[in-house]
Amino acid sequence: MSSDIIVEAKNLKKIYLQGSIEVPALRGLDLQLERGAFAAIAGSSGSGKTTLLNLVGGLDRPTAGEITIDGQGLSSLSGKKLADLRLRRIGFVFQAYNLLPILSAYENAEYVLLLQGVDPAERRKRVMDLLAAVGLEGLENRRPSELSGGQQQRVAVARAIAAEPALVLADEPTANLDSKTGTELIELMRNLNRDRGVTFLISSHDPKVIDRVDRVIRLEDGQIVEKLAA
């Protein structure tokens, strides 16, 4: 795999069982994503967007096929090594934010760095810099319940990139946000992509997202049907 390719999927298949019935979610999908990309996976509900994102992130394993992330094949990794890859190489932004309610914005953003054992002084510098970059300066000590949905999602973005991962995966990040806040969030991600070189792969059917990315990967019935430059 070329060093310019950060994600490669070959003949990727995922079949779910509903009772004794096999339901194919992905049907032999091939994909390459370049380092530094700002890309979206688009498609209707049930097209396989979230399934693909979960497989790329190592949150689930394919029925068949291979995924390589930053030069590392996932199929050969044990559960422990896969968890370590997620911790150190992949950032996640979820639709439901997935913040820890008892922790402050600062502590949520810091959490991955704590797990990595990063030096306290470096943790503080990195987290404060990121919270300022995502527009949350002065809100470091607020818990999620004291933040708006948009602010919570900004904390989630800061947490996702705090560890300087090779790749950030975002699953419908604007779904729970109003139009204005969703637009602001995508602009934030766009700026992080341009200014910091963060690679983003975003699952979405939101036109605001689709219009802002550099590449659209369209899924239909578990297969890529077209790839368009935005």
Q: Could you give the domains of the chain?
A: 5-98+160-229 (3.40.50.300)
Mean pLDDT confidence for 132-153: 93
With a CB cutoff of 8 Å and minimum separation 6, the contacts of 111 are: 100, 103, 159
pTM of the model: 0.90
pLDDT for 40: 94
pLDDT for 213: 94
Q: Closest by alpha carbon to 53, among 212, 167, 150?
A: 167
Confidence of residue 176 (pLDDT cuts 50, 70, 90): confident
pLDDT for 44: 83
End-to-end CA distance of the chain: 25
Max distance between CA atoms of the chain, in angstroms, equals 54
Q: Closest by alpha carbon to 40, among 196, 223, 221, 186?
A: 186
